[in-house]
Structures are given as structure tokens and as C-alpha cells.
Amino acid sequence: MNQVPGDDVPWWSQPLPTSTTPATSTPATSTPAMSTTPLASARPKLPILFMLALALVAGVLGGGVGYFAAQYSDDRVTSDVRGPFTDTSDGRALTTSTSTIERAPGSIAGIAARVLPSVVSISTESNAGSGTGSGFVIRSDGYILTNNHVVADAANSTGSITVQFNGGKSISAEIVGRDATYDLAVIKVNLTNLKSLVLGDSDKVVVGDSVIAIGSPLGLTGTVTTGVVSAKDRPVSAGGRFDSQNSFINAIQTDAAINPGNSGGPLVDATGAVIGINSAIASMSSSRGQSGSIGLGFAIPINQAKRTAEQLIATGKSSHPILGVSLDLQFAGPGARISTLPGAVVTGGPASEAGLLSGDLILSLDGRNVANAEELIVAIRSHAPGDKVKISYVRAKKTIEVTVTLVAAPAN
């Protein structure tokens, strides 16, 4: 854990650890360590062998399609697969199926058909090189939501951004606003009458819910993968190389296959509504660069993303809630301890007004147990300025509970 560097700097401006994935020790069996990785991808060049491998996989997996339960109407998308084909060696017709495949609106295929037209592939060019990511339309007049780390390279140089829609149409895009703290960005294309996605309610998501991830892993546009919500409220760090501040997100964890290039794409529920933005994966530490999916993907909850996107569209900036304390990042927990350095509790800030002092040990926020400083940070960032939260803390072996009103962090 990093030591708090300043004597009177509040925690929202301090450097934080580069990963909030729970630390895993390396036992004698040399199990690899794990780290979280943002999912923007350098644009790939697919070798012939890789393309052959893709063809083989497609051939093997053709019959392995599962279905979500149909929940709405009896409308069907049908596909007639009748022949005939002719064997030119003897002129006889081969036997082919004449059955009709029914795909309910609530099936994976039905949901993908509705969602894919609103999902885009994002390509960037900058002095740092090229990269790809994903995004999705949130307003019919051209506004697209993605991750900050997808477009950060282009924003911090004389770069360019190109958006490609599922039908193949490409168009340049401009940045409306970025938020490195939440790893979110809104870009805009000069198009109207676009089909926007329905935004769901991430607060209602439960572990075990079926989900679909859609995006452009390794530049392969329109890729659809499925899984479940594996966990909620995972403190995860993500971000790009051009932003000095790590983004700490209160993530939804999923086992849907997510890979570099999926960043910014939607994670949708069984109704096709967006519940999260795919942002990071846990991967085995390796000197060979980014790894692929190991079934540990993380998405920014859409409720948090929606609030930030609305602010970015309205003003180009967004606000962040703060408690007004500096945390002792060397304290291993359980709990998050307020630093004992001078100025650790900002005079006149929310914590100060509620009576918190240096050295107090915060155990929970709104009933959610806090294991360490990172968990407290993401718990606070899941709220909005003006929210009232209950904080339980320990001082001199006595547990105290107070209500704190969060305020907006000062503008940089």
C-alpha cells in the first residue's frame, strides 16, 4: 500500500494503489498473481493461423447456442434453412433440414439483434499509436458513452476518433467530456435518428442474473458473449496511461468473456437494458503484455455512468462526492483508518462537520462493511454529492454511528 504523501491534502487528490483487486499471495506452487487491466486494445493484425483457428472454432461451436427465456411477446424471428444442395459427382440432391428456427425476443439472438445496431467500435489515432475500444449510443442525436481510457490517448494529443457502426458505416467523432475518476467519456457523432439503448437499473441487479457483453474485442466488431453477474460491489481500479488519477469503480463482476477492445461496450440484462459498461478484466500477471479473459470481467454500474454522462453532456464536466478526509493507505484493515497526519480531516468538510477525527477507524458506510481504504473510496463514489450516508466508526474502542452529507470535490 502506498503511504499518504501529503500532510494536508484530502484523499480525493492523492495517488492511490494501482490495483484494488484483492491481493493474492504467490505460494510455493507459484500460482500467478492477478491484476486488473483496462480493456482498450491496440489494433490487431490477425495472422493467417489465427484466422484459420477462428474458422475452426466457428465450425465446432455452431450447435452450442443457448437461449434466454422469452419474457415478452410471441413474435418470432425465423430462419428457413431448406436446400437443396446438389452433389455434382452423381447429381443426387443432399438431404437438408426444412425446419424453421424460432428465436424469441428474449433469446440471446433476439436481444443481440436489438442491441447490436446501437453498439459501436471506436478507433483512435494519436502520437501514442492506434487503439480500439467499444461504445454505445445513449441519445438518438449522436451521443455515445464509452470509457475514458478508450479515448484518452486521442484527447491528450493531436489525435482522432473514428466510430464504426454495426452496419459498417464509419464517421469521425469528437469528445464531449471525460471523467478520469469514473473512467467514463461521452463522444458525439454528427448523425441523428440513431437507435439508443435502454438504460436499466444497476441497483436492482442480483448475483446470478444472466447478462450479455457486446463489443469489439481485439477489433472484432459486434462480438456477443454471455454469462452471469458473478458479484457486486467489487472495488476495481481502471484507467489509462495519460491520466495521473486512477479510477476506482464499484464494479459489477461477470464471467461473460471480456477481452481487450471490449472497453466501453454495454453489459446488458435479459431484457436488453444496459446495466453496466465493460471496463476491466482480472488477468494473470505476465511480462508478455495483456492477457485474455479468465472469466473475471468488471463493469461500471449504469446508474453511476448515467449520472456522469448527463453532467458531461450538459457542462463537459462532472462532479464527485467526497467525505473530506485523507486515509492511511498503509493500514491493512479491516476498516479504513483516517490518517493521523496533520490536516487529515478537512476543516469544514463533511467528516469534520459530523465529528470524525484523525485516527478514527471507519467500519461501514450505509450498512456496507468496509474492508480497506479502497472499499471506502468506491462506496463513496457510488453516491452523488448531496447524498446523506450513515458511517459507523470506532474511536477508543467505542463504536459510533453518524450521518454525513457528502459534498462535491473542488474543481481541479
DSSP, res 11: G
Q: Which of 183, 255, 269, 360 is catalytic?
A: 183
Cis peptide before 22 (omega within 30 of 0): no
Task: Judge whether 263 counts as a catalytic residue.
Answer: yes
Task: Judge whether 118 counts as a catalytic residue.
Answer: no
φ, ψ for residue 342 (rounded to 5)? -55, 140
Q: How far apart are CA 44 and CA 46, in angstroms?
A: 6
Q: Which of 263, 318, 364, 382 is catalytic?
A: 263
Residue appearing with cell numbers 477489433: 219
Q: Which of 35, 149, 202, 382 is catalytic?
A: 149
The beta strands (E) that lie in 61-169 are given as: 77-80, 85-86, 93-94, 100-103, 119-126, 129-137, 143-146, 160-165
Please, are residues 205 and 232 in contact by the beta-carbon 8 Å criterion?
yes
The beta strands (E) that lie in 27-88 are given as: 34-38, 77-80, 85-86
Amino acid type, 355: G
Residue appearing with cell numbers 458479484: 231
Please, are residues 258 and 293 in contact by the beta-carbon 8 Å criterion?
yes
Please, are residues 213 and 254 in contact by the beta-carbon 8 Å criterion?
yes
Which residues have a catalytic role annotated? 149, 183, 263
